[in-house]
Structure 1
Amino acid sequence: MNEFSPIEHLFRTFDETASILQQELSCTYLDALAETSENLFQQTILQDEISEVAKKRIQKQYDEAHLSRYSKEEIRQAYQLAILKGMQENVQPNHQMTPDSIGLFISYLLERFMKGEKGWSILDPALGTGNLLLTVLNRQPDAFASAAGVEIDDLLLKLAWCGANLIEQPVQLFNQDTLEPLFIDPVDAVVCDLPVGWYPNDIRAADYELRAQEGHSYAHYLFIEQSIKHTKPGGYLFFLIPNGLFEDGEADKLQQFFQKNVYIQGLIQLPESMFKAKQAAKSILILQKQGEGLAAPKEVFLANMPSMKNKQAVQSIMNKMNEWFKENK
């Protein structure tokens, strides 16, 4: 009897071939994962420097994998599991992945606010490994005409690029500091798990309205401003924010900036059980960029999401949201 699911089978292919390459190339697991993912996509072993024995072991795994048998979601989830394993072995503060449950909920919110329209463009200005953006694209394969992501970390961008190739999602990727000038046309929607902390480049920050008057500026404030700048009038922005975003010393400045540029549509606090610590808990902030003929909703949608395991409570929130859409959209 076959005891493994398709996702587990494919994860084992990623994991075992990455482990062989890690040893052969004397590199990190995540670097080796990117290498084996590119091999799978190209359907050939690209590393000439590895031994013949290793090549035969890896090729056997590839021959048995048959990527065409898997759905895009199965590939994404198996690849995500391998990335998570690599991150546990070599933890770095900027190597964090947006959990699937959050990505799926943001996908649901996008569907509701976009009303089933097609031909949209989307941007993730803090792409990371691409899991959030790829989750959204997989959930709505016909909704988006173009997608773009920006990431400063070379390894994270390579992992995102390999993931997009594996699931055949056309995404334009930019390897740069998001807060430098972006050569990206304004988009219809932004999704972003905001990087929280200080931005060290005070000279670059000086070009932003949300810069600090003294010392370093908040990176998350600047990411919000840059995202709004690169959104079309009437476009939507979905930010994963720290729960204390509107409670710090600069919050008045942020709220004034919002009043001039966006309409706050909703603020949904996620269950603390999703996060390792209460201090790390986050919410989803939904904004619409102001534009001609648009107005703020009669009321902002506010909710505290219960545990996803509590189906009755989750359904109650969904019903509340349906009523809000009837009244406000």
Structure 2
Amino acid sequence: MERQIDTDQLFHVLDEMAQTLSNEGHGSYLETLALAGDNLFQGSIMQQPLSDVAFKKMEEQFKKIDQMTMERETVRKAFQLAIIKGMKQAVQPHHAMTPDGIAIFMSYLLKRLLKDQLGVSVYDPAVGTGNMLTAMMNHTEGIERAIGADVDESLIRLAFVMSNLQQYELELYNMDSVKEEGIPTVDVIVSDLPNGIYTNDEVVESFNTKPSEGRMPAEYAIIESSLRALKPGGVMLFLIPNDMFTREHSEAFRTFMRKETITLGMLQLPDTMFKAERHGKSIWMLQKQGPDVSAPQQALFAELPSFTRAEAMTDMMAKINEWFDHIYN
């Protein structure tokens, strides 16, 4: 009888393979983690040259999971552990991963926003490793097509391998999603937006959200560009920094978003999730304007309790469910 591999077992196999390949000169840990995942997907050791010792170590890892099956969430969580380890070694400041609790909570919100809609297409313009997108797919029925873009080649490579092992056919693009066009129109946009400055000034020169002074925040640029790919009436779920609306020269951004979208809700995440208050984030739920779109009588605004406070979280979920049942629907 086939056995299912658990998260720790799969993590250790990926970790050992990645470390072995990195020691053999095949790249950094994050780069070789993608190679290790590709080996598992292909069912053989693809890298050459390898020393006899390294090849033997890799074969030993294959034997550990021989004839074992992998569930999608097991694959995602094992990769998550390995990617977090790799990111601690990486120098890129934008390398980060959406915490599991947030991704799963956003999946719940997306399910309520979709109202059991089927055949849904989703786009993440800053997909990173694909962890948040595949987490939402694993917990949300009805998603038929998923598209992701990211400027970082190493992260897109990880997203490709991880989605393959989860048996998803993600459409992944290694590109600057602000600059490039051609993404097909979609029903939903989701993203954990990077916090920083968009450096290609020429691309955003004509953007409506461009500040009157200073350079373009990356969040503004990604939101405005991704709106072009969203169908009228489509919904958006963004993880945003709490200071996005209170920065200097944010008037143009606020004006544009009021014209083009309806804010359905803003849920501030607990401060305990972040190293410092200035790093705090919120979940922003929006709907793009369209012929049959009307604003709810009252938007959903709340400060979420710590996800570890079960009773407080249960009370909050009851209030959120009530809003969806009586105001949004």
Q: Shorter-chain-normalised TM-score: which range? A: over 0.9
> C-alpha separation between the residues in 2 aligned to 1:244 and 1:86?
29
Give the structure 1 partner of residue 215 of structure 2: 216
Q: Distance in 1 between matches of 2:30 and 2:328?
A: 45
Contact 2:34 2:158 (C-alpha < 8 Å) held by counterparts: yes
Structure-to-structure mapping, 1:81-120, within 5 angstroms: 81-120=81-120
Amino acid at match of 1:230: A
Q: Is 1:327 aligned to 2:313, yes or no? A: no
Partner AA of 2:31 in structure 1: D
Distance 1:71 1:207 in 2: 46
After TM superposition, give the deviation of residue 52 of structure 1 in Å: 2.5
Q: Helix, strand or coil: the match of 1:267? A: strand
Change (3 A) 1:249 1:214: closer
Distance 1:210 1:168 in 2: 38
Q: Deviation of residue 208 (structure 1)? A: 1.3
Q: Which stretch of the first structure deviates more once superposed, 80-89 or 243-252?
A: 243-252
Judged with a 3 Å threshold, the aligned counterparts in structure 2 of structure 1 residues 212 and 253 are, in CA distance, closer, same or farther, namely closer
The answer to which of 23-32 and 70-79 deviates more is 23-32
Unpaired runs of 5+ residues, structure 2, are none
**How big is each residue's C-alpha offset from its partner over 1:58-108, in whole Å with a ceiling of 9 and x where there is no partner?**
022112214752211011101110011111122421111111111001101
Matching residue's letter, 1:188: D
Aligned to 1:256: 255
Contact 2:210 2:253 in 1 (8 A): no
Structural RMSD (CA) = 1.4
Deviation, 1:284, is 0.3
Secondary structure of the structure 2 residue equivalent to 1:204: coil
In structure 2, distance between residues paired with 1:53 and 1:61: 13
For 1:269 and 1:161, the matched residues in 2 are separated by: 31
Equivalent position of 2:75 in the other structure: 75
Aligned residue for 2:285? 286
Q: 1:76 to 1:238 in 2, by over 3 A?
A: same
CA–CA distance in structure 2, aligned partners of residues 222 and 125 of structure 1: 11
Deviations 1:132-164 (A, max 9, x none): 101011112x41111100010111111111111
SS at match of 1:203: coil
Q: Which runs of 4+ in 1 moved over 6 A?
A: none
Comparing 212-221 with 28-37, which one deviates more in the overlay? 212-221
| TM-score, normalising length: structure 2 | 0.95
Aligned to 1:234: 233
The answer to whether the Cα contact below 8 Å between 2:238 and 2:284 also exists between their aligned partners in 1 is: yes
CA deviations on 1:109-142 (whole Å, 9 max, x unpaired) are 00011112110000000011111101011112x4
Aligned to 1:309: 308
- Evaluate the alpha carbon distance shift between residue 243 and residue 67 of structure 1 in structure 2; reply closer, same or farther with a 3 A threshold: farther
- Residues of 1 paired with 2:196 and 2:61: CA distance? 42
Give the distance between the partners of 2:67 and 2:169, measured in 1 at CA: 18
Match in the other structure for 1:47: 47
> Is 1:12 aligned to 2:12, yes or no?
yes
Deviation at 1:211, TM superposition (A): 1.5
Give the secondary structure class of the aligned counterpart of 1:11: helix
2:122 corresponding residue in structure 1: 122
Displacement after TM superposition at 1:328 (Å): 3.0
Per the normalisation by structure 1, the TM-score is 0.95
User: Would the aligned equivalents of 2:213 and 2:249 in 1 still touch at CA under 8 Å?
Assistant: no
**For the residues of structure 2 that align with 1:145 and 1:207, how far apart are their CA atoms?**
34
- Deviation for aligned residue 1:209: 1.0
How many angstroms apart in 1 are the aligned matches of 2:151 and 2:298?
A: 37
Describe how 1:149-298 pairs up with structure 2 within 5 A: 149-298=148-297
Query: Is the deviation greater in 60-69 or in 8-17?
Result: 60-69
Decide whether the 8 Å contact of 1:134 with 1:164 is kept in 2.
yes
CA distance in 2, matches of 1:296, 1:250: 26
Task: For residue 53 of structure 1, report the CA deviation from its aligned partner.
Answer: 2.5
- % same residue: 40
Q: Which string of whole-angstrom CA distances, capped at 9 and with x for unpartnered residues, describes residues 284-309 of structure 1?
A: 00000011121011111001100111
For residue 293 of structure 1, give the secondary structure of its aligned residue in structure 2: coil
CA apart distance, 1:207: 3.0
Q: Mind listing any 5+ residue stretches in structure 1 that lack a counterpart?
A: none
